[in-house]
Amino acid sequence: MAQSLTILGLESSCDDTGAAVVRGMPRDAQVLSSVVEGQTGLHAAFGGVVPEIAARAHAERMDIVVRQALDEAGLTLSAIDAVAVTAGPGLIGGVMSGVMCAKGIAAGAGLPLIGVNHLAGHALTPRLTDGAAFPYLMLLVSGGHCQFLLVRGTEDFTRLGGTIDDAPGEAFDKTARLLALPQPGGPSVEAEAGKGDAARLRFPRPLLDREGCDMSFSGLKTALLRTLDDLMDNGQLRQQDRADLCAGFQQAVIDVLVEKTRRALAVYLAEGPAAPVLAVAGGVAANRAIRAGLETVSAEMGVAFLAPPLALCTDNGAMIAYAGLERFASGARDDMTLAARPRWPLDQAAAGMLGGGRKGPKA
């Protein structure tokens, strides 16, 4: 009988300071507490995450967030078996803040230290929330990431494809900025799209004509700018035009994600998984129209669709604690030489093709 583990997890790779306590064993763990402190207000005036501001805020707040997570779990450090921390990829100053804090806690309390890949945290979340069995297909879609991962084991990931430029969340945020809608752009563009006609203004579907699962979203912004120019009347944009722009843009993102998901599912299904599952993670998974598209394509292909609760889809400490739990249970240990890494692809074989983005390296 495997032993139950209690893991403290720290996350600070972008603009959320997270700490959480997770208890249990692989595929059977509970979140005892999860505290996330966002930094949206700190970056609002700059139109994007400012790495130095993010790093300082993580350094100032991480110990407080950790204390709160322990308090909410009703535990002290003496009940913790190991400290897990995001060691990359991400904005390096923030990752360093978390790693240093985790090292301090581990050294002070005499606890083992586990470095976790942030993307593995997202990718293993369906095992925390639904006890998903390997292998499953993960679509990670957020403001910083967009990739298909075939998840075969705790440390066994194959990247089937991903964005070659912007992540979809980034495209939603840029669209919102161009249309003077509030940030983060995803929810405001989705709300506008609900009032618009998706068929009126046609946007490109980049890379659909090309084989494979790679995607591109940066061209959508240019197309949007051009259409916006045509629609502007004396510097004014009619309400209906704005809604139609949002609806057309969102439909283009949906069509690309759905078609590329169909292809990734075909690759995954060719391996003959016994109980096939498509899981999503990342803030963009909150979009109801995108979710509906993914659900439909999954159903068509006889694959179960899993969407973890939103609080565990976006950046949080619980996914890091859980990924740490899986690593710890399989015997992995790190020590005080653990380094913060700005880039850290999950799939080394696919590492060559990746670019950078507004929220840091794509990994």
Q: Does 187 bind ligand KG4 (CB under 6 A)?
A: yes
Interhelix angle 51-73/92-109, nearest 10 degrees: 30
Q: How are strands ordered across the β-sheet holding 28-38?
A: 28-38, 16-25, 5-11, 82-88, 113-117
Q: Using alpha carbons only, what angle is made at residue 53 by residues 114 and 103, rounded to the nearest 5 degrees?
A: 20
Residues 6+ apart with CB under 8 A from 211: none
* Cβ 16 to Zn ion shortest distance, Å: 8
Q: Does 192 bind ligand KG4 (CB under 6 A)?
A: no
* DSSP bridge partners of 357: 360
Closer of 205 and 362 to Zn ion (Cβ)? 362
Tell me, by CB under 6 A, how many residues bind ligand KG4: 21
Q: Which of 11, 81, 190, 334 binds ligand KG4 (CB under 6 A)?
A: 190
Task: Please tell me the distance from the alpha carbon of residue 306 to that of residue 320, in angstroms, as a whole number.
Answer: 19
Closer of 135 and 169 to ligand KG4 (Cβ)? 169
Closer of 327 and 359 to Zn ion (Cβ)? 359
Q: Does 143 bind ligand KG4 (CB under 6 A)?
A: yes
Residue that has been written with the tokens 């109980």 in this structure: 275
Single-letter amino acid, residue 12 = S
- Answer whether 305's CB lies under 8 Å from 295's CB: yes
Binding marks (x or -) toward ligand KG4, 309..328, rule CB under 6 A?
A: -----xx-------------
Q: Does 315 bind Zn ion (CB under 5 A)?
A: yes
100-139 residues in contact with ligand KG4 (CB under 6 A) are none
Helix (H) or strand (E) holding 188: helix 185-193
* Cβ 262 to Zn ion shortest distance, Å: 24
Residue 286 binds which entry of Zn ion, ligand KG4, none, CB below 5-8 Å type-dependent: ligand KG4
Q: Does 287 bind ligand KG4 (CB under 6 A)?
A: yes
DSSP reduced 3-state for 106: helix
Task: Please tell me the distance from the alpha carbon of residue 82 to that of residue 103, in angstroms, as a whole number.
Answer: 11
Q: Which of 84, 181, 284, 303 binds ligand KG4 (CB under 6 A)?
A: 284
The tokens describing 247, both together, are 């609806």
Q: Which of 185, 276, 324, 357 binds ligand KG4 (CB under 6 A)?
A: 185
Q: Does 5 bind ligand KG4 (CB under 6 A)?
A: no
For residue 318, CA distances in Å to 18, 32, 92, 325 come to 8, 9, 21, 10
* Cβ 208 to ligand KG4 shortest distance, Å: 20
Q: Does 39 bind ligand KG4 (CB under 6 A)?
A: no
Closer of 23 and 118 to ligand KG4 (Cβ)? 118
* Cβ 120 to Zn ion shortest distance, Å: 11
Taking the C-alpha atoms of 186, 198, 305 and 265 in order, what is their torsion angle to the nearest 10 degrees? -110
**Span from 186-194, 240-248, 322-330, 343-351 in contact with ligand KG4 (CB under 6 A):** 186-194
> What residues make contact with Zn ion under the rule CB under 5 A?
315
> What residues make contact with ligand KG4 under the rule CB under 6 A?
14, 142-144, 169-170, 172-173, 184-187, 190, 282-284, 286-287, 314-315, 359
